[in-house]
C-alpha cells in the first residue's frame, strides 16, 4: 500500500520596520493557516523597529501558529531577509510583506506548483499582489498601483516578468546555490530604494530555474494613506529608479553600455515630464501636475544614479591607471 509523500516543511518569513498596526492584521490571517501546523514555521524579523512591533508579535504567542521573533540590528530589508534565510528550517521559504491580507489556504496555494510531478525545475513561485486602499485612494493616483496581471492561470513567467518578495516562495536549495539578497539594494529605514527582489529573481532564472506565478495565491497589499501622498510617491519614484540603475549597472557584459545609452533617453524624458507638470500646474490641473512631477522624479533618479555610477567607474579606472609609488 503506497502512502502519499510528506508535505514539504515551509518557512514563512516577514521582515518588518515600524509597521506594527499593519503587521497585526497580517498576523491575524497568517497564524491561522490551514496548512498542517507541524509542517511550517513563521518567522518575524524586526529590523530595528522603534514602535511596539515586539509586543504585537508577542500577542500571538497563543495563536494556532505562534511566530518566532528575531531582532536584526543591520538596517535594511535585505539584511532582514538574509537573516530569515539564515534562521529558516524550511525546504521552501516564502517571503511576504508586513501589510498583506489573504485567505487561510494561502500557503497551500503558493507552494502547490512545487508539488507537481514536473516541478523539478521550478526555482520560485510568486503570488499575485493586489493593491487595496483601506483609507481611500487619491484620484490623482488612480491607475498608479495595479496587480501584475502577468497571467490568469498557474504557470511559468516570461523573462521580463518579475514577481515581488511581497508574495514569493523559493526553494531553499536554490537560495543556498545562488546566495541571498544583495545588501546594497532594498529599503534602508526610511529610504525607499528597492530592486533587491528583482535582482534575486533574475539570479534564480540565470541559474537555470523557472519562475512561476500562482494567481490563486494572491494577497491583498494594504497601502495606507501615508504612502499615497505626493511627497512619498515622488520619493518612491526617485529612489526606486536609483535602485534600478545600481542593479542594472552591475551586469558584467552590458551594464556600462546600458548606462551610456540611457542618458539621452532620460534627459529627454526628464525635460518632457517637467514641461508637462508645469503646464498642468499653470492650468490648475493639480492632480495631473503631481502625476507628471512624479514621472519627472523617476527620470531624475535614473540620471542622478547613472552619473554616480559613471563617476565611480571613472575613479576606479583612474586609480588603477596611476602607477604605485
**What pLDDT, on the 0 to 100 scale, is given for residue 251?**
63
The angle at the Cα of 127, spanning 121 to 129, to the nearest 5 degrees, equals 150
Say yes or no to pLDDT of 4 above 70. no
Are 312 and 298 contained in the same domain?
A: yes
Section 123-143 average pLDDT: 94
What Å distances lie between residue 10 and 155, 191, 225, 251, CA to CA?
A: 21, 31, 33, 32
- Tell which of 204, 227, 250 closes a domain: 227
Say yes or no to pLDDT of 15 above 70. yes
Chain-centre distance for alpha carbon 11:
18
CA-CA distance, 51 to 45, in Å (whole number)? 14
Q: How confident is the model at residue 2 (pLDDT cuts 50, 70, 90)?
A: very low
Say yes or no to pLDDT of 1 above 90. no
What is the SS3 assignment for 134?
Answer: coil
Please give the residue range of the domain that contains residue 295: 230-319
Q: Are 9 and 89 in contact (CB under 8 A)?
A: yes
Number of domains in the chain: 2
Are 83 and 155 contained in the same domain?
A: yes
Are 136 and 47 contained in the same domain?
A: yes
- E-strand ranges in the chain read 10-16, 40-46, 68-71, 92-96, 100-101, 122-132, 155-156, 167-171, 210-222
Are 235 and 198 contained in the same domain?
A: no
59 or 165: which leads in pLDDT: 59
Q: How confident is the model at residue 121 (pLDDT cuts 50, 70, 90)?
A: very high
Among 146, 138, 310, 148, which Cα is nearest to 229's? 138
- Tell which of 227, 258, 273 closes a domain: 227
Are 37 and 16 contained in the same domain?
A: yes
Q: How confident is the model at residue 210 (pLDDT cuts 50, 70, 90)?
A: very high
Are 39 and 99 contained in the same domain?
A: yes
Are 84 and 150 contained in the same domain?
A: yes
- Tell which of 227, 257, 289 closes a domain: 227
Are 27 and 76 contained in the same domain?
A: yes
The angle at the Cα of 261, spanning 257 to 262, to the nearest 5 degrees, equals 115
Amino acid at each position: 500500500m503506497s502512502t502519499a509523500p510528506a508535505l514539504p516543511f515551509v518557512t514563512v518569513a516577514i521582515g518588518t520596520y515600524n509597521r506594527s498596526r499593519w503587521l497585526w492584521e497580517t498576523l491575524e490571517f497568517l497564524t491561522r493557516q490551514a496548512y498542517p501546523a507541524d509542517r511550517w514555521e513563521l518567522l518575524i524579523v524586526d529590523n530595528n523597529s522603534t514602535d511596539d512591533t515586539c509586543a504585537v508579535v508577542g500577542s500571538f504567542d497563543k495563536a494556532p501558529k505562534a511566530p518566532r521573533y528575531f531582532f536584526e540590528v543591520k538596517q535594511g530589508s535585505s539584511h532582514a531577509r538574509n537573516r530569515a534565510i539564515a534562521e529558516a528550517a524550511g525546504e521552501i521559504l516564502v517571503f511576504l510583506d508586513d501589510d498583506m491580507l489573504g485567505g487561510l489556504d494561502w500557503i497551500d496555494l503558493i507552494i502547490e506548483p512545487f508539488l507537481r510531478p514536473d516541478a523539478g525545475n521550478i526555482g520560485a513561485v510568486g503570488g499575485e499582489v493586489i493593491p487595496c486602499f483601506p483609507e481611500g485612494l487619491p484620484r490623482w493616483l488612480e491607475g498608479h498601483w495595479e496587480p501584475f496581471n502577468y497571467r490568469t492561470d498557474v504557470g511559468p513567467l516570461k523573462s521580463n516578468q518579475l514577481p515581488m518578495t511581497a508574495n514569493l516562495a523559493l526553494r531553499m536549495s536554490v537560495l543556498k546555490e545562488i546566495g541571498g539578497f544583495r545588501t546594497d539594494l532594498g529599503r534602508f529605514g526610511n529610504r525607499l530604494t528597492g530592486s533587491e527582489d528583482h535582482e534575486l529573481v533574475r539570479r534564480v532564472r540565470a541559474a537555470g530555474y523557472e519562475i512561476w506565478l500562482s494567481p490563486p495565491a494572491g494577497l491583498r497589499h494594504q497601502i495606507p494613506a501615508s504612502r499615497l501622498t505626493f511627497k512619498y510617491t515622488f520619493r518612491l519614484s526617485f529612489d526606486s529608479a536609483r535602485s534600478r540603475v545600481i542593479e542594472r549597472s552591475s551586469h558584467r557584459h552590458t551594464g556600462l553600455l546600458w548606462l551610456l545609452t540611457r542618458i539621452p533617453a532620460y534627459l529627454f524624458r526628464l525635460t518632457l515630464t517637467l514641461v508637462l507638470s508645469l503646464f498642468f500646474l499653470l492650468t490648475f490641473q493639480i492632480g495631473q501636475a503631481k502625476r507628471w512631477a512624479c514621472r519627472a522624479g523617476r527620470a531624475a533618479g535614473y540620471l542622478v544614479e547613472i552619473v554616480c555610477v559613471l563617476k565611480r567607474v571613472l575613479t576606479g579606472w583612474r586609480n588603477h591607471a596611476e602607477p604605485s609609488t
